Amino acid sequence: MSGFANIRETRAENTGAEDRELPPELPRESMIFCTQCGERNKENNYQCSRCGHFLHQAPVRYEAGDDGTLGGLIPYKNEYALFSYYLGVFSLIPLIGGVLGIIAVVMGLKGLKHAKSHPEARGKVHAWVGIVLGGLCASVTILIVLLLVIAAFSN
């Protein structure tokens, strides 16, 4: 016979309900009583299974703010500037640098426009890095292609 079969527990005094036996499969530590109707509920229940009364306080909502940590360094609210930055960095890769560089410049200009109209979005530095790197890599790629074409036709 289980040790819980004969255990009796009194409900909370303010409910005025009579005693009940605990079922053998539910240990005492995992149960709480509703302060409204006295119904026994599992500890992790948010509301009473009988009357719907809230058993626990509402969870605290935390909102991410600019506290000077990493969230302030990455302009997650200005996608254009962020994409421009990464495209500018990836435009350093040979053979695809020209295409990525042009896209980085366009995205960087959109990122600057977005940062100007939404100052809380930030991202001006990321947009400028994308514009400069993208512009340089696109220019170098175009120059190399032009030199190769001139060299091929001059022979």
Identify whether residues 93 and 57 lie together within a single domain: no
Residue 24 has a pLDDT of 58
Counted domains in the chain: 2
Identify whether residues 75 and 145 lie together within a single domain: yes
Pick 153 or 59 by higher pLDDT: 153
Are the beta carbons of 87 and 104 closer than 8 angstroms?
A: yes
Identify whether residues 46 and 121 lie together within a single domain: no
Identify whether residues 74 and 47 lie together within a single domain: no
Note the pLDDT tens digit of each residue in 40-89: 888 888 888 899 888 877 777 766 555 555 556 777 788 999 999 999 99
Identify whether residues 53 and 78 lie together within a single domain: no
Residue 99 has a pLDDT of 92
Confidence of residue 10 (pLDDT cuts 50, 70, 90): very low
Identify whether residues 105 and 138 lie together within a single domain: yes
Residue 6 has a pLDDT of 36
Pick 50 or 95 by higher pLDDT: 50
Cα 96 from chain centroid (whole Å): 31
Identify whether residues 29 and 50 lie together within a single domain: yes
Domain interval for residue 130? 70-154
Q: Please state, in angstroms and rounded to a whole number, the distance separating the CA atoms of residues 43 and 46.
A: 8
Identify whether residues 57 and 124 lie together within a single domain: no
Pick 128 or 72 by higher pLDDT: 128
